[in-house]
């Protein structure tokens, strides 16, 4: 039976659009994402939609308020979680925000990174497949499937609509 965890993942852009705010997951020794760089986000609650979830997660994790965001795509990650959970992720790019981002949160250090150098950072192997789609100029959202096995992607397919 397919019952995915629904979540959001957001990439906050700097005012000039050249950098994105990432969390370096270095605060908890038991973190399944430990040592990796990631966008901000998390699980959707039963009483919210994906937009509200993204806004809440950015507020909780970075202390800023989203003013303009765009849904860039969706990804179905099967067998991804530490116990083989399936995830359905809604991927956003945040173009404008209000406030000053925190420098850290309970998951790790928050840092700005050049978009054109993200490939140099330690991250989930699968992120390298979809990140170019998050930051490209194609206005159409992508919809992908990325099955995992033993913590590694075994495939990647996507379509734009």
Please give the structure tokens belonging to residue 41.
């986000």
Angstrom distances, CA of residue 140 to CA of 16, 133, 136:
22, 10, 10
The per-residue pLDDT string of the chain (161 residues; one tens digit each, 9 = 90 and over) reads 999 999 999 999 999 999 999 999 998 888 777 889 999 999 999 999 999 999 999 999 999 999 999 999 999 999 987 788 999 999 999 999 999 999 999 999 999 999 999 999 999 999 999 999 999 999 999 999 999 998 899 999 999 98
- pLDDT given for residue 83 in this prediction: 86
- pLDDT given for residue 161 in this prediction: 87
**What is the C-alpha to C-alpha distance for residues 97 and 15, in angstroms, rounded to an integer?**
9
Please give the structure tokens belonging to residue 2.
């397919």
- pLDDT given for residue 33 in this prediction: 77
Q: Judge whether 42 and 7 are in contact, CB under 8 Å.
A: yes
Domain at 5-160, CATH class: alpha beta
């Amino acid at each position: 039976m397919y019952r995915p965890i629904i979540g959001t993942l957001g990439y906050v852009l700097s005012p000039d659009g050249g950098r994105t705010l990432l969390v370096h997951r270095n605060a908890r020794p038991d973190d399944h994402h430990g040592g990796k760089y990631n966008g901000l986000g998390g699980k959707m609650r039963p009483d919210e939609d994906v937009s509200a979830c993204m806004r809440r997660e950015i507020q909780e994790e970075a202390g800023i308020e989203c003013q303009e965001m765009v849904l860039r795509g969706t990804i179905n990650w099967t067998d991804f979680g530490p116990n083989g959970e399936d995830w359905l992720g809604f991927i956003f790019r945040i173009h404008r925000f209000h406030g000053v981002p925190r420098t850290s949160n309970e998951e790790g250090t928050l840092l700005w990174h050049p978009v054109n150098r993200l490939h140099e950072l330690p991250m989930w192997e699968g992120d390298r497949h979809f990140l170019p789609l998050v930051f490209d100029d194609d206005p159409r959202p992508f919809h992908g499937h990325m099955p995992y096995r033993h913590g590694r992607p075994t495939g990647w397919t996507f379509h734009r609509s």
